[in-house]
């Protein structure tokens, strides 16, 4: 997708396995608007859409620390309609990921917080390093992870989603495995070997078989994912334009500066 030193998202293909990498490790791969748009563009690449498996990971030993607090702070003067428009890129990214026929696999090292946790949940499969941490700390800003709620509920159920969202606490990889947020946990030292082995085994299976298998699993799921994402987007826009959220962000920024 261009110069690895400057591109926010990298994409490469090995056989019929595509790897999409968030590439701003110096900022912990935040899900800023430019990063989100770059992810959507990567998911729309013909070689990615034609893959049997799409691996999603972060550069620099970090999956994603979630939303960009600077961006949140800058948006405090916008009203609900502008907030709704501001969710468009994230909605589009989630729904483009959802539209992939390929089996999607998150490979998680380090933090996967907020939207990063949601991105993990939105994938069909997730491999985590034992050093990974997951959580939805939005509550500390006076917010709630509404946009990613459909992905979280689908992955771990409503009760666990409430627990993560209301507490804002981080959980380790083993707890994420227990909840069903991730599929496997491996040691940090063995992660790259494990991912390489997964790609090799996936490449041994015809891409059409993988795609049809995903179709069968999705057909067994009755929840209306799109409606959930759209509802979360509307609710988020109302919350993010509210005085309570503004106070929460301002307080967080003040604490960070002190």
Residue by residue, DSSP assigns the chain as: ---TTT-SEEEEEETTEEEEEE--GGGT----HHHHHHHHHHHTSHHHHT-SEEEEEEGGG--B--S-HHHHHHTTT--HHHHHHHTHHHHHHHHHHHH-SSEEEEEE-SEEETHHHHHHHHSSEEEEETT-EEE-GGGGGT---TTTHHHHHHHH-HHHHHHHHHH--EEEHHHHHHHTS-SEEE-GGGHHHHHHHHHHHHHTS-HHHHHHHHHHHHHT--S-HHHHHHHHHHHHHHHHTSHHHHHHHHHHHHHHH-
Only one residue has tokens 């947020």, namely 181
Banded pLDDT at 247 (limits 50, 70, 90): confident
Flag whether pLDDT at 201 surpasses 70.
Answer: yes
77: burial class by Cβ within 10 Å (0-12, 13-18, 19+)? exposed
Range name among 92-96, 146-150, 242-246 with the lowest pLDDT average? 242-246
| Cβ–Cβ < 8 Å for 16, 211 | no
Residue of higher predicted confidence among 3 and 149 = 149
Flag whether pLDDT at 209 surpasses 90.
Answer: no
Q: What are phi and psi of 89, to 5 degrees?
A: -65, -45
**Strongest mean pLDDT among 35-44, 85-94, 219-228:** 35-44
Residue of higher predicted confidence among 80 and 189 = 189
Flag whether pLDDT at 232 surpasses 80.
Answer: no
**pLDDT on residue 1:** 47
**pLDDT on residue 5:** 54
Q: What are phi and psi of 67, to 5 degrees?
A: -65, 160
Flag whether pLDDT at 186 surpasses 70.
Answer: yes
**pLDDT on residue 223:** 59
- Once rounded to an integer, what is the mean pLDDT over residues 206-224? 79
> What's the gap between Cα 248 and its chain centre?
23
Residue of higher predicted confidence among 193 and 249 = 193
CB neighbours (10 Å) of residue 87? 21
**pLDDT on residue 250:** 84
Range name among 18-27, 120-129, 248-257 with the lowest pLDDT average? 248-257
Q: Which residues contact 212 (CB under 8 A, 6 or more apart)?
A: none
**pLDDT on residue 72:** 60
Share of the chain above pLDDT 90, in %: 64
Flag whether pLDDT at 249 surpasses 90.
Answer: no
**Strongest mean pLDDT among 54-58, 140-144, 206-210:** 54-58
> What's the gap between Cα 231 and its chain centre?
18
What are the sequence ranges of the domains in the chain?
9-188+206-257
What is the CATH number that goes with domain 9-188+206-257?
Answer: 3.90.226.10
Flag whether pLDDT at 155 surpasses 60.
Answer: yes
**pLDDT on residue 4:** 61
Quote the CA–CA distance of 89 and 196 in Å, as a whole number: 31
Quote the CA–CA distance of 60 and 55 in Å, as a whole number: 16
Q: Where does residue 205 fall: left (phi above 0), alpha (psi -120 to 50 degrees), or beta otherwise?
A: beta
């Amino acid at each position: 997708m261009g110069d690895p030193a400057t591109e926010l998202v990298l994409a490469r293909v090995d056989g019929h396995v595509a790897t999409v990498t968030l590439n701003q490790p110096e900022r912990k791969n935040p899900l800023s608007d430019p990063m989100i748009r770059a992810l959507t563009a990567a998911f729309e690449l013909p070689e990615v859409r034609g893959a049997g498996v799409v691996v999603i990971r972060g550069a620099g030993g970090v999956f994603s620390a979630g939303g960009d607090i600077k961006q949140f702070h800058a948006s405090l003067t916008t009203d609900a309609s502008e907030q709704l428009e501001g969710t468009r890129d994230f909605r589009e990214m989630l729904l483009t990921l959802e539209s992939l026929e390929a089996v999607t696999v998150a490979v998680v090292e380090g933090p996967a917080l907020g939207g990063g946790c949601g991105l993990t949940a939105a994938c069909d499969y997730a491999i985590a390093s034992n050093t990974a941490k997951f959580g939805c700390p939005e509550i500390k800003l006076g917010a709630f992870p509404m946009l990613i709620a459909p992905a979280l509920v689908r992955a771990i159920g409503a009760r666990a989603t409430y627990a993560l969202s209301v507490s804002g606490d981080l959980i380790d990889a083993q707890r994420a495995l227990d909840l069903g947020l991730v599929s496997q946990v491996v040691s940090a030292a063995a992660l790259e070997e494990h991912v390489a082995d997964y790609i090799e085994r996936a490449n041994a299976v015809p891409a059409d078989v993988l795609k049809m298998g995903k179709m069968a699993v999705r057909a067994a799921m009755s929840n209306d994912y799109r409606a959930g994402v759209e509802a979360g987007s509307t609710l988020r826009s109302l919350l993010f334009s509210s005085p309570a959220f503004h106070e929460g962000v301002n307080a967080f920024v003040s604490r960070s500066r002190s």
